[in-house]
């Protein structure tokens, strides 16, 4: 298939949407840190990073939580508008939800609103308290949400089992060894050791430690399964004209995006070692005009090592069947060929539910704005690949971001 969808805005045009600020707080287990407290904190951090105050925001986009239906209802019914003191002036508050790919779709929503003139300054917010929530409640939730109730739930399948099935299929198709699969997790931990906000900061990990850890769902060991964490992050988007007026000199724009929804029932996926990544990538590359060889970093959803290895191959970063070996060769490490998941990813920074992909996106924006701490800032970072996937990896979503000069 060859198709080209053209963005109706271009670099430097007044209505071209751009990212101008990000905010984040530490990820881990913080039982005394409240949900609204987390959201408010990252909102203020992102606004400060963008050179704005709450009353500059006309639209809030919310990314759901999974830990509490009551907290979710508060978000839906505009609590953050009041918490930020912009009730009576804020134009809209809404929620976007597609599981692990929500951040990609939230960007598309904000981008469309800004480009069409429906919004000018958009604040996107996420907070999750998975790490501090009742463990049994979270296990029950993860045994139901995103799994078809009519056909697959009766089998007893849950998310670690889904991760194990995809991993086993990928290992069979690629010939990857357990050691090569574990190397993905080691790469992510190497980045987490440079990120003070990461759940496993200063906690090194080796292939031997991973393979010696408890077997959870064959072939997945416990250190290959995502740790549930508390975390929060935010970002601000505006249009290029407004960024110029505010004296912002450099920002980040969307060069292209692509997606593919390849199943609802995992059993209907054509090939679990491929998923929807090749078509999503083709659409994104065609829209951007640049390819994987032009990227400086990649931030790809990594709830399990195989999910990321499969994405790398579909996107064109690694040859087919070589995704895990690409990691084993050190290509994704600090100083490697293509720095990968530079915050430590879900597997080492911590899995914050629907917001796990949002944290990766925020890290990508931060790198492109050249605002990451020096020990993990990728030198002269100009272009980034962002990838997300929701549910039982029902979809593959790609954003291609690039640094852009908007003012003097």
The answer to whether residue 45 scores a pLDDT higher than 70 is yes
The DSSP H or E segment spanning 369 is none
- CA geometry: angle 393, 163, 75, nearest 5 deg: 55
Q: What's the mean per-residue pLDDT of the chain?
A: 95
Query: What is the pLDDT at residue 148?
Result: 87
Q: Could you report the per-residue pLDDT of 356-389, keeping only the tens digit for each?
A: 999 999 999 999 999 999 999 999 999 999 999 9
pLDDT band at 50 (very low <50, low <70, confident <90, very high): very high
Architecture of domain 17-133+230-245: 3-Layer(aba) Sandwich (3.40)
How far is residue 361's CA from residue 110's CA, in Å, rounded to a whole number?
14
Average pLDDT of span 279-292: 96
What is the percent of the chain with per-residue pLDDT over 90, rounded to a whole number? 89
- Using CA atoms, how far residue 181 sits from 52, 139, 170, 212, 346, in Å, is 43, 25, 10, 14, 16
- What string of DSSP letters covers 116-144? HTS-SSEEEEEEEEGGGS-HHHHHHHHTT
- CA geometry: angle 387, 389, 390, nearest 5 deg: 150
How many angstroms separate the most distant Cα atoms in the chain? Answer: 60
187 with 302: CB under 8 angstroms?
A: no
How far is residue 359's CA from residue 23's CA, in Å, rounded to a whole number?
10
Length of the chain in terms of residues written: 408
Q: At what angle do helices 102-116 and 356-368 cross, to 10 degrees?
A: 60
Is-above-0.85 flag for pTM? yes
Note if the bond before 219 is cis, omega within 30 degrees.
Answer: yes
Tracing tokens 């490490």 back to the chain, one arrives at 333
- Boundaries of every domain in the chain: 17-133+230-245
Q: Could you report the per-residue pLDDT of 171-192, keeping only the tens digit for each?
A: 999 999 999 999 999 999 999 9
Q: Could you report the per-residue pLDDT of 51-84, keeping only the tens digit for each?
A: 999 999 999 999 999 998 899 999 999 999 999 9
How far is residue 266's CA from residue 306's CA, in Å, rounded to a whole number?
15
What single DSSP character describes residue 239?
Answer: E
How far is residue 196's CA from residue 26's CA, in Å, rounded to a whole number?
7
The answer to whether residue 241 scores a pLDDT higher than 90 is yes
Q: Could you report the per-residue pLDDT of 209-229, keeping only the tens digit for each?
A: 999 999 999 999 999 999 999
The answer to whether residue 1 scores a pLDDT higher than 60 is no
Cβ neighbour number for residue 331 with a 10 Å cutoff: 18
What is the percent of the chain with per-residue pLDDT over 70, rounded to a whole number? 99
Cβ neighbour number for residue 32 with a 10 Å cutoff: 6
243 with 406: CB under 8 angstroms?
A: yes
Nearest alpha carbon to residue 364 among 121, 112, 104: 104
Q: Choose the weakest-confidence range: 6-15, 184-193, 274-283, 343-352.
A: 6-15
Q: Which residues contact 77 (CB under 8 A, 6 or more apart)?
A: none
């Amino acid at each position: 298939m060859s198709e080209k969808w053209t963005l109706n805005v271009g670099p430097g045009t007044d209505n071209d949407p751009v990212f101008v600020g990000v905010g984040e707080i530490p990820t881990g287990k913080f039982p005394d840190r409240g949900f609204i407290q987390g959201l408010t904190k990252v909102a203020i951090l992102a606004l400060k990073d963008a050179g704005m105050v709450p009353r500059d925001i006309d639209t809030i986009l919310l990314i759901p939580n999974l830990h509490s239906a009551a907290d979710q209802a508060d978000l839906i019914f505009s609590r953050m508008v009041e918490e930020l003191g912009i009730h009576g002036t804020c134009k809209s508050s809404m929620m976007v939800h597609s599981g692990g790919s929500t951040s990609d779709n939230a960007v598309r929503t904000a981008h469309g609103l800004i480009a069409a003139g429906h919004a000018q300054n958009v604040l996107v917010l996420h907070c999750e308290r998975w790490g501090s929530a009742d463990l049994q409640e979270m296990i029950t939730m993860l045994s139901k949400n995103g799994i078809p109730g009519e056909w697959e739930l009766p089998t007893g399948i849950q998310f670690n089992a889904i991760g194990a099935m995809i991993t086993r299929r990928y290992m069979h198709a690629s010939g990857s060894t357990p050691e090569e699969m574990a190397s993905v997790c080691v790469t992510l931990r190497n980045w987490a050791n440079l990120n003070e906000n990461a759940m496993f900061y200063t906690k090194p990990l080796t292939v031997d430690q991973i393979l010696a850890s408890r077997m959870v769902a064959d072939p997945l060991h416990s250190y290959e399964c995502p740790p549930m964490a508390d975390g929060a992050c935010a970002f601000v988007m505006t249009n290029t004209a407004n960024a110029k007026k505010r004296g912002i000199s450099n920002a980040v724009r969307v060069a292209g995006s692509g997606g593919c929804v390849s199943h609802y029932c995992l059993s209907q996926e054509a090939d679990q070692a491929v998923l929807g990544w090749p078509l999503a990538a083709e659409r994104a590359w065609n829209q951007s005009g640049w390819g994987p060889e032009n990227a400086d970093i990649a931030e790809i959803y990594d709830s399990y090592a195989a999910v990321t290895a499969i994405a790398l191959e579909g996107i064109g970063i690694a040859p087919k069947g070589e995704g895990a070996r690409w990691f084993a060769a050190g290509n994704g490490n600090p100083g490697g060929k293509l720095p990968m998941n530079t915050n430590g990813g879900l597997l080492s920074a911590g899995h914050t539910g629907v917001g796990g992909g949002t944290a990766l996106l925020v890290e990508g924006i931060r790198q492109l704005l050249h605002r990451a701490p020096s020990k993990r800032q990728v030198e002269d970072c100009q272009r980034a690949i962002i990838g997300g996937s929701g549910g039982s990896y029902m979809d593959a979503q790609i954003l291609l971001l690039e640094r852009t000069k908007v003012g003097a």
